[in-house]
Amino acid sequence: MDKASPFLWIKNTAEAIEFYKKAFDAVEIYRLTEPGGKVAHAEITIGGAKISIAGEYPEYGILGPETIGNTTVGIHLQVDDADKLFHQAIAAGAIIVNPMTDQFYGDRAGSVKDPFGHYWMISTTIEVVNPEEMQKRFLAMFVS
């Protein structure tokens, strides 16, 4: 296997593509549109990473977070300026899930939920932390 990339199912694919352009500087590669105008499949890139997007197809059990009420997957964007992209996403219509803060594992990170129900973690590495130190810091959070 060479790569893994996310595939998002979204109720309104065309609207989502425009949101991702504004929120995350996504670049649209292509879209396949059905005769009635529904976007059946599209590909975008965010920071060079490919993300596939498709509309919902209930007849095949393909439903997005808006329809099922939640998602079990989040997308992590590792960027040079997390604060900038975080605020850009909020300005585009994302909702804050976790505010931007410095994390024990060495990143400055925050997360948002997009209008289509998908969760995005946005982070910048501010300190390289080895796994042993990361575990130590993690356990320290449980001490009162």
Tell me if 2 is assigned to some domain. no
pLDDT lower than 50: segments of the chain:
none
Amino acid at 18: E
Tell me if 116 is assigned to some domain. yes
Tell me if 1 is assigned to some domain. no
pTM score: 0.91
pLDDT, position 2:
78
Q: Domain count for the chain, please give it.
A: 1
pLDDT, position 12:
93
Tell me if 90 is assigned to some domain. yes
Instruction: Show the domain range for 130.
Output: 7-140
Tell me if 117 is assigned to some domain. yes
Tell me if 107 is assigned to some domain. yes
pLDDT, position 144:
72
**In the 8-state DSSP scheme, what is residue 36?**
T
pLDDT, position 127:
98
Q: How far is CA 125 from CA 20, 80, 118, in A?
A: 23, 8, 23
The domain that holds 95 is classified in CATH as 3.10.180.10
